[in-house]
Amino acid sequence: MMMCPTQPVCGSQGTSTGSSVSSVLGAVGGTITVLGGIGSIIGVLAKTGVIVILGVSAAAAIWIGAVIGAVLAFATVFTFYYLRCLSKPDTLAACSAGVVEQLIPAFSSASEDVFPFTAQHDRVDVVVKCIYWPLVQINAAFVECNSDPDGSPILRGYYHNAKVCGAGLGSTIGAGVGVVAGILAGAAIGAAIGCATIILCLFALLIALIVAAVTVIVAAIIGGQIGKAAASAPPSPVADDGNTIHSGDYVTTQGGLLTSGDDDGSRIYWFVEHTTLHGHSTFSSPFDHTDPDANLLMDACPVRTPGGPPR
């Protein structure tokens, strides 16, 4: 009989988290603040003058609004790419084992197909053996649990997917190309609305900003689809032996753990580096931790796992 530690409380742990969600949103907020401030300074210096660029004539404020929209959209696209593929966050080397509850492949949602730069890497949710509960709980702002009667804790693992990074790079290049076109289009349409009244002027600024941003996003979508198509990756995560991972598989996963705002502040593998398959459960989803506790006695983890109890 396996001795289990105290089961973590599901949901919020009452602590906050440094998170990649906040990084995306923080980048947007910071970019708007800085660009808006700089834009207004330039607007004051331009003294309400009309500027003509490449045949497009518009008030300085309209041009600045279009620049803010285009640069903001580019910064947002690049931030996604940076967080998904370029950043190297600190992680804790760890190993755990359990039964796979579900797989969420990259590009499995409509929004990730439409906006490829937002795609997340392949995700595998594992109901872990109870001896690995400390890995789920320590430094977590949130504990994800399964829908089984026991509310068994889940440890999510992300598998690096080259198509996600291909799409991110393609989107960033596309967005960069779209910036100039976006600024020209936004300024032209904003100028057409004009500043006859204060409310019309507000709409001119808003439309200039939005048209520029949408143009950049459309260019990012086109670039992202090209980048996604150019990259190659298996359709779903595979174990070290080359076999595809399925729901119900007993697995041992090894990789780096961190606290992720993209996952409510749960502890996750970013990324799973090694996966060992140990066969398939005879039970059906939703899986309970007692299943791997009883049927996966010998997993592939070392005798002692960082952050966990001695075995």
Partner 1 sequence: MAVLFTVWRHSLCAVTGAIAGAFAGAVFGLLLTTAIPPPVITAAERLEIALILAAAAWLILLLILASWLHYKLAAIWLPALVNAVITAVLTIFLAYVLKAFPYLAPIVGAIVGTLVGWILCRFCEPRSLGVGK
**CA–CA separation, 290 and 152 (whole Å):** 9
| 83 DSSP 8-state letter | I
What is the smallest separation between the CB atom of 131 and partner 1, expressed in angstroms? 25
Q: Which of 150, 93, 132, 134 is nearest to 293 (CA)?
A: 132
Rg (the chain; Cα; Å): 24
Residue 280, beta-bridge partner list: 249
What is the smallest separation between the CB atom of 195 and partner 1, expressed in angstroms? 6
Q: Which of 252, 265, 256 is nearest to 306 (CA)?
A: 256
Q: Which is nearer to partner 1, 74 or 250 (CB)?
A: 74
**DSSP labels for 4-21?**
P-PPPPSEE-S-----HH
Binding mask 171-210 for partner 1 (x = CB under 8 A): ------------------------x--xx-xxx-xx--xx
Question: Segment contacting partner 1 (CB under 8 A): 26-34, 171-179, 244-252, 301-309?
Answer: 26-34
What is the smallest separation between the CB atom of 60 and partner 1, expressed in angstroms? 7
What is the distance between the terminal CA atoms of the chain, rounded to a whole angstrom? 13
Is 57 a binding residue for partner 1 by CB under 8 A? The answer is no
Is 43 a binding residue for partner 1 by CB under 8 A? The answer is yes
What is the smallest separation between the CB atom of 203 and partner 1, expressed in angstroms? 8
What is the smallest separation between the CB atom of 168 and partner 1, expressed in angstroms? 13
Question: Segment contacting partner 1 (CB under 8 A): 14-22, 50-58, 130-138, 219-227?
Answer: 14-22
| 122 DSSP 8-state letter | E
**CA–CA separation, 183 and 211 (whole Å):** 8
Is 30 a binding residue for partner 1 by CB under 8 A? The answer is yes
Is 142 a binding residue for partner 1 by CB under 8 A? The answer is yes
Is 253 a binding residue for partner 1 by CB under 8 A? The answer is no
Residues 75-94 binding partner 1 (CB under 8 A) are 76, 80
Residue 45, helix vs strand vs coil: helix
Q: Which of 114, 147, 108, 186 is nearest to 284 (CA)?
A: 147
Question: Segment contacting partner 1 (CB under 8 A): 36-44, 233-241, 278-286, 287-295?
Answer: 36-44
| Token pair for 67 | 């620049």
Contact 259, 141 (CB under 8 A): yes
Options 4, 46, 231, 238; binder of partner 1; rule CB under 8 A: 46
What is the smallest separation between the CB atom of 306 and partner 1, expressed in angstroms? 24
Residues at the contact surface with partner 1, assessed by CB under 8 A:
11-12, 14, 16-19, 21-26, 28-30, 32-41, 43-44, 46-48, 59-61, 64-65, 68, 76, 80, 109, 111, 115, 118, 120, 142, 195, 198-199, 201-203, 205-206, 209-210, 261-264
